[in-house]
Amino acid sequence: MNKPIILFGGQSYEHEISIVSAIALYQALTSQCVFVFLSGDRRFYLIDLMDMKADYFASGRYKKAPELFLARGGFVRKGFFGYAPIDGDEVVNVSHGADGEDGKLAALFEFYGVRYVGPRLEASVLSFNKHYTKFLASAAGVKTLPYEIIKRGDKIKTPCPFILKPLRLGSSIGISVVKSEADLPFALDAAFEFDNEAIVEPFITNVREYNLAGCFAGGEWKLSIIEEPKKREVLDFDQKYLDFTRDKKPAAAALPVGVAESMRETFKRVYNHGFAGSLIRCDFFVIDGEVVLNEINPIPGSLANYLFDNYEEIINALIASLPERRDITVTYNYIHSIRSAKGKL
């Protein structure tokens, strides 16, 4: 039985959401896990299971926990006789936003040869930046909304109403619906508080939104139910995360069979463009019966455990079928051949 290491936190605007995600997983997973916290100043700490409470982190008490370090193959702890690996297996990346989803942690794991569940470097880069996500969707043959990218001071060409979002941020932070010119100053301030670029997309009234999570593991697709999240005008931060640790599984959305199957096939096309080794969630619109990709969540909140019946089995299957890393053997044959032919080098 695997003993996964749940890694959470990070230097990110979504730091606190990541803590809530880890606590939700602590409550959802029955098998024993190891919890490693990445602080805002990018130090790793080994967290006792009894301390998996939000106030433990908000109060700063985590600083008294044993500090960990990354070394070849995984996390190590400093002891009297040097460094020793901690008792844990593959890492499950639950660090939302920057650090976890932008590729920094993926690069570290690859560098140190750590096996991990989560988006690889390329997938992180493409899904963290909403502009690049549009390129990925286009390559996958997946439809998205029209858009424009702006910086502060740029004139917006998209007519009202439109949605304004920070370009590199998730969790519905900093988004605004702009219905008239009077709404624009606040929306710009909200978006540029978190990023120096923003994406503008048309706002479609009463559009239906759906979530689908899953992965490819053990030679087969593991897909969740299709959820239609409850929302007001737009699915904002409060609606997404104030019920983050929901106890009840949501009901499957009532969708025509053809539309539901189209959504599943669209999800697979997105996933096959670089997300092997991850459990992701895609957020879709259905417009005039057509499936349109809204966003890719490469590390979904609480890793979307509430959308599955057999969640623990899926995580274990994913761990068992992670992509194999190709190690390059350095031989120095080229230098040896030159020295053999020309003497000293």
Query: What domains, with CATH codes, occur in the chain?
Result: 5-117 (3.40.50.20), 125-142+206-320 (3.30.470.20), 148-202 (3.30.1490.20)
CA 157 – CA 200 distance, rounded (Å): 9
The Cα–Cα gap between 128 and 98 comes to 8
pLDDT band at residue 80, thresholds of 50, 70 and 90? confident
Residues in the chain: 345
Q: 291 by DSSP, 3-state: which?
A: strand
d(CA 214, CA 279): 5
Tell me the C-alpha distance between 190 and 164, whole Å: 9
Mean pLDDT of 284-311: 95
End-to-end CA distance of the chain: 53
Amino acid 247: pLDDT:
56
The Cα 284–Cα 331 span in angstroms is: 49
pLDDT at 206: 87
Q: Is residue 333 exposed (0-12), middle (13-18) or buried (19+ Cβ within 10 Å)?
A: exposed
Is the pLDDT at 59 greater than 50, yes or no?
yes
Do the beta carbons of residue 209 and residue 203 sit within 8 Å?
A: no
pLDDT tens-digit map of 132-178: 999 999 999 999 999 999 999 999 999 999 999 999 987 678 899 99
Nearest residue to 108 via CA among 73, 133, 62, 78: 73
Q: What is the pLDDT of residues 199-227, one digit of tens each?
A: 999 999 889 999 999 999 999 999 999 99
Contact 231, 205 (CB under 8 A): no
Q: How confident is the model at residue 17 (pLDDT cuts 50, 70, 90)?
A: very high
Residue 1 has pLDDT above 60, yes or no: no
